[in-house]
Amino acid sequence: MRLAVDAHLILADRRGIGVYARALVSRLAHFPGMELTLLTRDLFPARRRGPIARELGIDGFRLARRVPRDADVVWHPWTGTFFASDVPAVSTIHDCTPFAYPAASPRIRKREQDPFFRSAARSRRFIADSEFTREESVRYLHIERDRIDVVYLAADPCFSPGAPQHLNATLREKPYVLFVGAPDERKNLETLVRAYHQAFPAKEVLFVCVTTAEVAGAITLHGLSRDALRDLYRGALCYAMPSTYEGFGLPALEAMQCGTPVIVSNAASLPEVCGDGARYVNDPLSVEEWASALREIARDQTLRETLRERGPQRASLFSWDAAAAATYQTLARAARE
């Protein structure tokens, strides 16, 4: 297969989408007969080779600023088609947030939604992170369901049960609730903040947020390494994901794979991903329900032990190798059709 991949954010994107793209590209590169071209917007693509090779752990690839004419298929992993060509295309849709939560400004709304419309118009086949995202793609983008293949994400193998090795003294001395994610509306962080203060007014349990904005009453952390994040999962009383909208919910899977008790909203893709490995809050916007769940997890050791056992079992159903194999099948099908 001669595969071209939109890699213009392969180094810069540290979100879940970047994790996804790097994990799959590094594996697809090793498929028999693979001829890989990574697409970049850099005026001098060659200077990106060293950093990309080190990041992905691969060397057998070309760099280009345009889709090669002899490519069999081009894959767009960033929810948007940013390199136009006549080569058969596959686009990954991670979620449909700009449609479920449209911006108030028409200009911003158009800017956020247009990449999705380009993908829907130009791509032969699509990959969705979950059944939920597939249905959202049908709903908002009017793509035929049978053109969308569901390929689940996975947690990096580094996320595993064990004792945290690099936590600071404060986090070693007191239990803490952990949140990992952006402070976007759909992440519903405000509800969790209010629930935390209601559940633990005496601050007997701390609140740790790995996010991009300061959170009142929380220990806020930024730019953590993968190992530092793993240790935060391992040391947490619980991981909480109050999202009202998720295309997959990768941090919840990472936490479960570490054996951390997980509380998530009973919404969007989260039940599909977490299965019986999490404790659910039925009304994501209810401060009272979230406060009750936090108090329960703090007081009920049996529940914590149950979730510590179930989480890794559930997470073991997902793997990047399986995701790469399924992605390859979709790419090959698009090339043949």
Q: In tens digits, what is the pLDDT along the chain, a chain of 337 residues?
A: 999 999 999 999 888 899 999 999 999 999 999 999 999 998 888 889 999 999 999 999 999 999 999 999 999 999 888 898 999 999 999 999 999 999 999 999 999 999 999 999 999 999 999 999 999 999 999 999 999 999 999 999 999 999 998 898 889 999 999 999 999 999 999 999 999 999 999 999 999 999 999 998 999 998 899 999 999 999 999 999 999 999 999 999 999 999 999 999 999 999 999 999 999 999 999 999 999 999 999 999 999 999 999 999 999 999 999 999 999 999 999 999 8
Query: Are the beta carbons of 21 and 13 closer than 8 angstroms?
Result: yes
Q: What pTM value is reported for the model?
A: 0.94
Query: Are the beta carbons of 90 and 128 closer than 8 angstroms?
Result: no
What's residue 227's pLDDT? 94
> What percent of the chain lies above the pLDDT cut of 90?
91
- pLDDT tens for each residue of 161-210: 999 988 988 899 999 999 999 999 999 999 999 999 999 999 999 999 99
Which residues are 207's β-sheet partners? Answer: 177
Q: In terms of residues, how long is the chain? A: 337
- pLDDT tens for each residue of 84-132: 899 999 999 999 999 999 999 999 999 999 999 999 999 999 999 999 9
Q: Phi/psi of residue 167, each to 5°?
A: -75, 145
19 Cβ neighbours under 8 A, 6+ residues apart: 153, 156, 250
- Dist CA 138 CA 151 (whole Å): 16
What's residue 14's pLDDT? 86
- Helices 287-299, 301-315: crossing angle, 10 deg rounding: 100
Task: Give the neighbor-by-neighbor strand order of the sheet with 73-76.
Answer: 61-64, 35-39, 2-6, 73-76, 89-93, 125-128, 148-150
In order of start, what are the domains of the chain with their CATH numbers?
2-154+319-336 (3.40.50.2000), 169-315 (3.40.50.2000)
